[in-house]
Amino acid sequence: MKNIVTAIAAAAIILPTAALAGERDKGNSINYSGPVDTVTVASLLEDTSMFTEKDAVVEGHLIKQVNADTFIFSDGTKEIQVEIDDDIRMPQTINADTKVRLFGEYEGGNTPEIEVDRIQLI
């Protein structure tokens, strides 16, 4: 009898949690396509201090893949290494001709890079 009560209590806790866990993947994000304040890669690279960390939004092209989650990005002014967050999924294949808007955090240092949190196709 004690095992049945424990099983029912565990199910009462786990099932709602499992049901809500799937809710975040149902496209509840906003797909805004209007103007956004962006910066150039050249302006970001003016400050390469290892202590530099700031939010950045850039527009341009992923021109080369370095490894599974690291790319070279160019906005036409300069190039910078970007690291794409591993939970980002794109609905379509992108290539060097696909214009993208990257949202992330710029980090200076020996190899300045942008850690990308979100990608938007333009």
CATH number of domain containing 99: 2.40.50.200
Q: Confirm whether 7 is domain-assigned.
A: no
Q: What is the 3-state secondary structure (H, E, C) of the chain?
A: CHHHHHHHHHHHHHHHHHHHHHHHHCCCCCCCCCCCCCCCHHHHCCCCCCCCEEEEEEEEEEEEEEECCEEEEECCCCEEEEEECCCCCCCCCCCCCCEEEEEEEEECCCCCEEEEEEEEEC
Give residue 99's pLDDT. 96
Angstrom distance (rounded) from CA 100 to CA 59: 6
Number of structural domains in the chain: 1
The parent domain of residue 65 ranges over: 41-121
Give residue 59's pLDDT. 97
Q: Confirm whether 12 is domain-assigned.
A: no
Q: Confirm whether 36 is domain-assigned.
A: no
Mean pLDDT per 10-residue interval, the chain, length 122 residues? 64 58 53 82 93 95 95 96 91 92 95 95 88
pTM for the whole thing? 0.73
Q: Confirm whether 48 is domain-assigned.
A: yes
Q: Confirm whether 96 is domain-assigned.
A: yes
Q: Confirm whether 109 is domain-assigned.
A: yes
Q: Confirm whether 35 is domain-assigned.
A: no
